[in-house]
Structure 1
Amino acid sequence: MTIKPDTQQKTSSRMSLPEHITEIKDFLTNAGLPDIIDSAVILGSGLGSFGDHIEDPISIPYTDIPSFPDSTVIGHSGSLIFGSVDRSSVLAFSGRFHHYEGHPISKTVLPIQLSKAFEVDKLIISNAAGGINLRYKVGDLMIIDSIIKQFFMISEPADKNWSYDMEESAAKVKEIASDLGIVTQMGTYLFAKGPSYESKAEIRAFRYMGGDAVGMSTAPELAEAGRLGLRAAAVSLITNAAAGVVDQKLDHAEVKEAADQKKEVFAKLVKGLIREF
């Protein structure tokens, strides 16, 4: 991801972070975390098992961290995990905060802002998503090379004059996955506010718009990463077919089942990204 600022002065003003981010970082460094961390990983629904691959972990429940919202969605454990992967320091967010849970968009991007505060060199964002592209099947890993946010405001109104581009980072993720022998798709992630699954008519419209997968997170996080100039990679695990793709009722249990089946491949890819991205 690249940021294209208009002027150096504007870029500097965009790097400011909310005061509560400093409070959170101070709490975490007092709990034993270093001042600078190499990588950060946001783990989507059902993908929290990656935390088992982190060596010498320090796990802190979100509820213990000041100014941190709680994660209430099934499949999100709600813990911050710090440790190492292949000698690189890693901060993993096992669970995220969704807009549909009642959090403002500005709160859902807290992990991105905290990553910036810890000066992470690489940010890896994952999610569980519904497949819109008729060529996709459950269990596919889709590298996000673009997003569709429809007509929603997903960033702070005062920060308008910046842009982000996922194509370069997506190509690098594709290369790393290929080197690891992992087959991936590459496509566009469409952000829907939720909390309900989309109707068949909406999915037909989203496909016409160019969406390959749909979900209720990630787009605001990528926008904030672009605003802050963080290098980011984003991967969706296709855990179910979106409404109308197959003739069956959508169920959140599908998400966990698909994630369980793919957890080792997902962990292999994330480790590769931590090393090579």
Structure 2
Amino acid sequence: MSLPDYITDIKDFLTDHGFPEQMEAAVILGSGLGSFGDKIENSDSIPYADIPSFPQSTVEGHSGSLIYGEIAGKPILAFSGRFHHYEGHDFAKTVLPVQLARAFNVEKLIISNAAGGINFRYRVGDLMIIDSIIKQYVMISEPAQHTWDSSFEEYAREVKQIARNLSIETHLGTYLYVKGPHYESKAEIRAFRRMGGDAVGMSTAPELIEAAKLGVKTAAISLITNAAAGVTGAKLDHAEVKEAADQKKEVFAKLVEGLIKDF
């Protein structure tokens, strides 16, 4: 499948600035998880604002820079900040990191996000490997169901085993995508739970669908950074997201490093 012309232009710009032609892996870092960039060796970064045709990330907890370097001697790209539909980007732009990863011929893509826990068994700080998604909106053209959902579940099981080998506890669960930017109401969360959702968030689903279209092997991990509305009596606050991510950053980094090596 062909990529948009601006993806080729972006890659040319990056290779002119010293990026290698091919990368082993790419990582999309969710809210509060940008500290993973500190684990990248021999790294350099370029602010999104300096890259032609690149949208800007405006969400607190997203630094808005593209990092390249090495993990375990393997060249990787890390997107420290993503582009949400609720920021005013159309869905075609929200999947730009996936398309750019494909342009660099990555062998694996790792997508992360901060999500609200719907499942009563989940606790703040838990990691959930996404093995299915529920989407309420038409986002982008999608491949036939059998070409992505079955492989998606297979990848999730592989990620689960890698986490187990690293003695990292994880859940397998369903991610329910909402547009945002507002947190959901208690009534919506009750409905989402009945629908089978385990966690809810405002990203990732468009990226997963685009990765399936492009044939990119992908792992998706949610860090449960807060309990969704109605699960506890606490008021939802974005500061809670950042705090939970900071407490889990070492475990998250260990899992991502393991996936870059073994996934």
Q: Say yes or no: TM over 0.5.
A: yes
How does 1:101-180 map onto structure 2 within 5 Å? 101-150=87-136, 152-156=137-141, 160-161=143-144, 163-165=147-149, 166-180=152-166
Indicate the residue corresponding to 1:28 in structure 2.
14
Give 1:246's match in structure 2, choosing from 232, 235, 244. Answer: 232
How does 1:5-24 map onto structure 2 within 5 Å? 15-24=1-10
How does 1:191-206 map onto structure 2 within 5 Å? 191-206=177-192
Residues 27 and 79 in structure 2, CA contact (< 8 A), matched pair in contact too: yes
Q: Aligned letter for 2:119? A: N
Indicate the residue corresponding to 1:73 in structure 2.
59
Structure 2 CA distance for aligned equivalents of residues 133 and 160 of structure 1: 29
SS of the equivalent of 1:220 reads helix
Indicate the residue corresponding to 1:207 in structure 2.
193
Q: How many residues align?
A: 260
Query: C-alpha deviations, 1:70-97, integer Å up to 9, x for none?
Result: 1000000000000000011110000000
Return the TM-score normalized by structure 1. 0.93
Identity of aligned residues (%): 71
Structure 2 CA distance for aligned equivalents of residues 192 and 251 of structure 1: 17
Listed as ranges, the gaps of 5+ residues in structure 1 are 1-14
- Cα offset, 1:237, TM superposition: 0.1
Return the TM-score normalized by structure 2. 0.98
Residues 154 and 223 in structure 1, CA contact (< 8 A), matched pair in contact too: no
Residue 252 of structure 2 is aligned to residue 262 of structure 1: no
Query: C-alpha deviations, 1:101-137, integer Å up to 9, x for none?
Result: 0000110000000001000000000000000000000
- Cα offset, 1:161, TM superposition: 3.8
- Cα offset, 1:160, TM superposition: 4.9
Structure 1 CA distance for aligned equivalents of residues 234 and 68 of structure 2: 39
Structure 2 CA distance for aligned equivalents of residues 169 and 161 of structure 1: 18
Residues 143 and 213 in structure 2, CA contact (< 8 A), matched pair in contact too: no
- Cα offset, 1:31, TM superposition: 0.5
Structure 2 CA distance for aligned equivalents of residues 136 and 37 of structure 1: 34
Residue 204 of structure 2 is aligned to residue 190 of structure 1: no
How does 1:29-108 map onto structure 2 within 5 Å? 29-108=15-94
Listed as ranges, the gaps of 5+ residues in structure 2 are none
